[in-house]
Structure formats: structure tokens, C-alpha cells
Amino acid sequence: MINEITPLEQYKIKDKTVHVKRDDLMGDGVEHPPWGKLTALREVLKTINPQKPLIHLSVFGSWSGWALAEVAKELDYEFIMAYPDSKKFPKRIIEKSENVLPIKPNMMNVMYNKVGQIAREKDYIRLPYAFDHLVYIKTQKQRLQEVKKELEFDHLVVSSGSGVTCLGMMMEHEPWPQLFDTGNTRTFHTVCVSGVDTIKKKFKKYGIEPTEQVEIVKSEFEFDDMMDWYETPFPCNEFWDKKAWYWLEQNIDKFKGEILSLIHISEPTRPRLISYAVFCLK
């Protein structure tokens, strides 16, 4: 069972109160991965309502294969998890799926195209890259709406990989002047470890450009830098979350206003790294 009611916790950075939305508790870490994308993935699968087998490329650093295997099982859909046949890929994720398809490790786009080729040949349905689906984005918007019922905020800080998940949240946050709110000072900041241009391209597809109120930040740390020397006050993975929290600590003084907020999406791989969280700063 996916837990959609998750707590809002509080931490301190200097004199700021940081509210942490523990959406990692959406999954129990046993049946479902501790991951805040579960409801959005479920809605995408229900919308597709496939009459053919689904296939998806699960890569190192992502819970997606495990999550989709469990959600597809609940919805009685046939699912095949393709994955790079490498010692680095976690066995515990492979074991979560009844149907797996190892493929030769390669660059992401090469493996993704290979899965597309297999889907065409076998008459499977390949899920969109990074779940770039209107229903997925809409569900992330709705998730932020639920947070806003508990807490109002001015500034939203979100970690990102492809930019798809944070896109829905940014759309709900609306960090830009509006017809009846020309003095809108809300801001959005996404901290990434991948290419900034990739995220810019994703935002541009929806008519959004970087401005003083929309900032894309490239972390000073690489994706595979585990930052073992740095500790966070809550469970936090080293691939994305830790880098975003570090950036927030270093830049907390730049935020002006009565209430600040940070929404942060994690996708941990190692068993002890179990946090998907929403942070709101006050």
C-alpha cells in the first residue's frame, strides 16, 4: 500500500526553520521503495491502461524499476524491467521484478534506444523517458498543492535530474509575475548534477525560461561524489539530496521573505539512503 499521508518535519539552518516533507515514507522500503514518485507513476500507468506488456529501462541511481514492478503488479499489468547488466546495478532491485531483461551497459541514450527497438520488435509499450507524461507532471503539481494546504511559502528549491518532476511543482508554485499579482516575488531554484542545458530544454518545452525568479543551479559536486565528510540532519541520499541540502546551507542568506521553502526530490539507490523529501523554509 502506498502511503500518501506523510509528515512535515522541522529543522534549522542558521536562523531559518526548515520544514521537511518526508515523502520518502510514501514507500515502506520493503514492498515499495521509499520514494515520493510512487503516486505519480501509478497515475501514469492507470492512464495508459496497457493491453500489452510494459517495458522500462531502470538505471543505476534510480528506484524506477522496483517502483514500476510493484505498481504494475497491483494494477495487474505485465511489466518487464530492462537494466544494464553490470555488477554495479543493485541485485535487490533486480529481485523486485518478476520479468527482467539484462542489456549490454552503454551510454544512457544508447540503452534507451535499445529498449525502444526491443519494444517495437516484441510489441511492448515503452514508458516515456524520465516519465515525461502530462499525467505525471499533473500529479506532481497536485502533490505540491497538498503541501500548500499546510504551509504557505515564497521560495521553492528542488533537486533535479531530467527536470520532469520538478517541472510540475514549479508550475504549481508559479514563480513569475501574473496579471493580478504583478508584485509576485516567489522564486524557484533547482539544484542539479546533470547538464543544465538538459533542464533548460525541458523547461523551454513548456514555455519556461530561466529568469531572476527561475534559477537552475549546477552543483559543484559530481553525481558519484558521495560527500562522506558532510552530514545532513535527516536520511538523505548522496546522489542528489545531499548536494541540494549543502547548496541550501551555503545560500540560505540569499532568500528574503517571511517564509522560504524547498521541495527536494531524491532517488536513492543504496539501502541506507532512503529519503525523498520536501523541505519548506520559514
Task: Give mean pLDDT, residues 230-239.
Answer: 83
- Strand positions, DSSP E, the chain: 8-13, 16-21, 54-57, 79-84, 100-103, 125-126, 155-160, 187-192, 214-218, 262-264, 277-281
Quote the DSSP letter at residue 60: T
- 233 or 52, higher pLDDT: 52
Q: In the predicted model, what is the mean pLDDT of the chain?
A: 86
Q: Are 67 and 59 in contact, with CB atoms under 8 Å apart?
A: no
pLDDT at 259: 47
Question: What residue type is assigned to position 216 of the chain?
Answer: I
Q: Beta strand 79-84 with 100-103: parallel, antiparallel or unpaired?
A: parallel
Indicate the pLDDT class of residue 40, thresholds 50, 70 and 90: very high
The Cα-based distances of 165 to 73, 137, 238, 242 in angstroms read 23, 6, 19, 18
| Backbone torsion region of residue 163, taken as left when φ is above 0, otherwise alpha when ψ lies between -120 and 50, otherwise beta | left
With H, G, I as helix, E, B as strand and everything else as coil, classify residue 250.
helix
Burial of 244 (0-12, 13-18, 19+ CB in 10 A): buried
Residue 279: all three cell numbers together:
523541505
pLDDT at 260: 52
Residue-wise pLDDT tens digits, 96-148: 999 999 999 999 999 999 999 999 999 999 999 889 999 999 999 999 999 88
Quote the DSSP letter at residue 14: T
Residue 29: all three cell numbers together:
522500503
Q: Are 20 and 278 in contact, with CB atoms under 8 Å apart?
A: yes
Point out the least confidently predicted range of 49-63, 184-198, 214-228, 256-270.
256-270
Nearest alpha-carbon partner for 237 in 264, 198, 199: 264
Single pTM value for the model: 0.88
